[in-house]
């Protein structure tokens, strides 16, 4: 049982994607075939990105945003994540070697915990990989209908805007170019999935160690409350002392693993968060363009013959206003994010109540002073951000009182929106910090227990020596 053998999907994706991330130790190396394969995959990826840069310049802005820039952002994310791990290869080898040392001497409890931790994610990851590849193939094949409609093609006709030759070009160049884009897009997606699976595997392996420690503590406490006769024997105390010492050493190793993992993947997780924000922005642009073309084409035509007011000019704003329960004029895209978070929390109300009840059984007080700075800075930042927001409250030109009322309403709405988002952030941060505090408490209690036991043994030894 080692880092490589417990997750075959991670090994296969690492080879097929050409990432060749660290898997075993310093002495092991990938074969010459996989190294050539990795170089080939990186070359075709760079060729596509280089061809897409002028392609995004020559095509319309909407096409560049929907199909071009999103692929470039994903490529930059992949490149940064791979370079981040490869430049810290020694740190990754050190982490893997430490995990392998723990797994090589693992008992049945450790094996069961590791399998139970990794097993639930196998089916979702396989589904994510297969569905993503099928979606990319379907997304590209839908574009091949242009073959029957045109004889000459331009850069905009490609699935992604790319420059492989001067436009207009023939059917043969178009077909080869689109097939090349399809193959490279699949390779890019497999690379991205491979990095995500590798990162998730590292996190789950360290998480399994914490679960193992918790389970072993529960087993020791359960055995302690067992047979009353053998519980007070010296042999029993010596056995428990040995188990607790081994568990403390294991806990120190896990803390060391956590520090290595943090140093290795902290920037990757930060980049993942930033790229997710950009990805949602591009998805919003794509959905807005599709909805405007398909669903709201007739509505826009009919609105020209109706009276213009706030309700008719922004149906989406009215729907979000009702669903979120704000009943205020909201003009920022953060409203969609808040609705998602609040809906997520309310649908998990039972789980949240159970977590709160468990926390209340442990602690009886909280501290909210750390959030005052965030709250003050947030108000100022939001007031600055909303000054240049464009809204429609009445037909132009309008009077001063309408302008003043709109400014007041915009300020109140933006501050209230900040409070709602701030409340969700503090709520989730509080949960994370409370759970983190429990791990710190366990570490401190184990240290105190080990220290008291050591002092007790020293005093007992001194008494025996004096006697």
Cα maximum dimension of the chain? 106
Given a contact cutoff of 8 angstroms between Cβ atoms, the answer to whether 10 and 190 are in contact is no
Q: Residue 156: what are its φ and ψ, rounded to 5°?
A: -65, -20
153 forms beta bridges with: 169
Q: What is the mean pLDDT of residues 72-83?
A: 90
> In sequence order, what are the residues at sequence separation of 6 or more whose Cβ sits closer than 8 angstroms to the Cβ of residue 248?
446, 447, 450
> In sequence order, what are the residues at sequence separation of 6 or more whose Cβ sits closer than 8 angstroms to the Cβ of residue 308?
392, 395
pLDDT at 237: 73
- Higher-confidence residue of 239 and 203: namely 203
pLDDT at 450: 66
Q: Which of these, 327, 300, 299, 340, lies nearest to 424 by C-alpha position? A: 340
Please identify which residue in the block is written with the tokens 């880092």: 3
Given a contact cutoff of 8 angstroms between Cβ atoms, the answer to whether 215 and 173 are in contact is no
Lowest-pLDDT choice from 65-74, 353-362, 434-443, 458-467:
458-467
pLDDT at 16: 93
Instruction: Tell me the C-alpha distance between 44 and 67, whole Å.
Output: 18
pLDDT per residue as tens digits for the range 110-144: 889 999 999 999 999 999 999 999 999 988 887 77
User: Taking the domains of the chain in order of start, what are their residue ranges?
Assistant: 8-221+242-289
pLDDT at 352: 60
Q: Which of these, 24, 3, 28, lies nearest to 99 by C-alpha position? A: 3
Q: Please check the confidence at residue 26 and state whether its pLDDT lies above 70.
A: no
Q: What is the mean pLDDT of residues 62-66?
A: 77
- Higher-confidence residue of 384 and 296: namely 384
pLDDT at 121: 92
> In sequence order, what are the residues at sequence separation of 6 or more whose Cβ sits closer than 8 angstroms to the Cβ of residue 284?
333, 336
Q: Please check the confidence at residue 317 and state whether its pLDDT lies above 80.
A: no
pLDDT at 218: 86
Instruction: Tell me the C-alpha distance between 174 and 161, whole Å.
Output: 12
Instruction: Tell me the C-alpha distance between 309 and 269, whole Å.
Output: 44
169 forms beta bridges with: 153
Q: What is the mean pLDDT of residues 5-21?
A: 91
- Higher-confidence residue of 281 and 463: namely 281
Instruction: Tell me the C-alpha distance between 123 and 275, whole Å.
Output: 25
- Higher-confidence residue of 210 and 443: namely 210
Q: Please check the confidence at residue 212 and state whether its pLDDT lies above 80.
A: yes
Lowest-pLDDT choice from 12-16, 76-80, 258-262, 353-357:
353-357
271 forms beta bridges with: none
pLDDT per residue as tens digits for the range 154-208: 888 888 888 888 888 888 888 888 899 999 999 999 999 999 999 999 999 999 9
Given a contact cutoff of 8 angstroms between Cβ atoms, the answer to whether 144 and 36 are in contact is no
- Going by pLDDT thresholds of 50, 70 and 90, the confidence category of residue 366 is very low
Averaged pLDDT score across all residues of the chain: 74
């Amino acid at each position: 049982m080692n880092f490589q053998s417990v997750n075959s999907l991670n090994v296969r994706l690492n080879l097929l994607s050409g990432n060749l991330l660290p898997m075993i130790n310093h002495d092991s190396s990938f074969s010459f075939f996989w190294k050539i394969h990795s170089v080939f995959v990186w070359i075709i990826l760079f060729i596509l990105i280089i061809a897409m840069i002028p392609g995004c310049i020559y095509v319309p802005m909407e096409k560049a945003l929907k199909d071009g820039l999103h692929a470039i952002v994903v490529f930059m994310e992949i490149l940064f994540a791979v370079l981040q791990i490869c430049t810290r290869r020694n740190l990754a080898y050190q982490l893997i070697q430490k995990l392998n040392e723990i797994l090589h001497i693992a008992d049945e409890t450790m094996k069961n915990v590791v399998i139970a931790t990794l097993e639930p994610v196998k089916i979702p990851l396989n589904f994510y990989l297969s569905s993503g590849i099928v979606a990319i193939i379907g997304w590209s094949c839908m574009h091949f209908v242009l073959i029957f409609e045109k004889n000459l093609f331009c850069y905009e006709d490609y699935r992604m805007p790319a420059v492989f030759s001067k436009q207009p070009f023939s059917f043969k160049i178009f077909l080869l170019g689109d097939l090349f884009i399809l193959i490279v897009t699949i390779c890019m997606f497999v690379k991205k999935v491979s990095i995500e699976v590798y990162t998730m595997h590292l996190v789950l392996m360290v998480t399994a160690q914490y679960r193992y420690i918790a389970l072993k503590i529960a087993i020791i406490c359960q055995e302690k409350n067992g047979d009353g006769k053998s519980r007070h024997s010296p042999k029993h105390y010596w056995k428990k002392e040995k188990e607790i010492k081994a568990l403390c050493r294991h806990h120190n190793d896990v803390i060391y693993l956590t520090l290595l993992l943090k140093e290795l993947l902290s920037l990757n997780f930060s980049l993942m968060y930033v790229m997710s924000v950009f990805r949602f922005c591009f998805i919003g642009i794509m959905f807005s363009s599709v909805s405007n073309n398909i669903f709201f084409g007739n509505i826009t035509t009919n609105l020209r013959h109706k009276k213009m007011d706030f309700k008719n000019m922004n149906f989406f704003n009215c729907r979000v206003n009702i669903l979120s329960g704000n009943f205020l004029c909201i003009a920022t895209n953060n409203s969609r994010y808040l609705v998602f978070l609040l809906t997520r929390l309310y649908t998990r109300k039972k789980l949240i109540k159970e977590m709160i009840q468990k926390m209340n059984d442990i602690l009886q007080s909280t501290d909210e002073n750390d959030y005052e700075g965030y709250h003050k800075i947030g108000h100022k930042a939001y007031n600055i951000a909303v000054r240049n927001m464009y809204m429609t409250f009445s037909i132009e030109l309008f009077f001063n009182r309408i302008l003043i009322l709109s400014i007041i309403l915009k300020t109140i709405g933006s501050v209230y929106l900040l409070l709602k988002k701030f409340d969700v952030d503090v709520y989730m941060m509080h949960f994370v910090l409370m759970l983190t505090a429990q791990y710190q408490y366990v570490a401190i209690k184990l240290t105190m227990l080990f220290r008291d036991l050591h002092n007790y043994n020293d005093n007992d030894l001194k008494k025996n020596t004096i006697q």
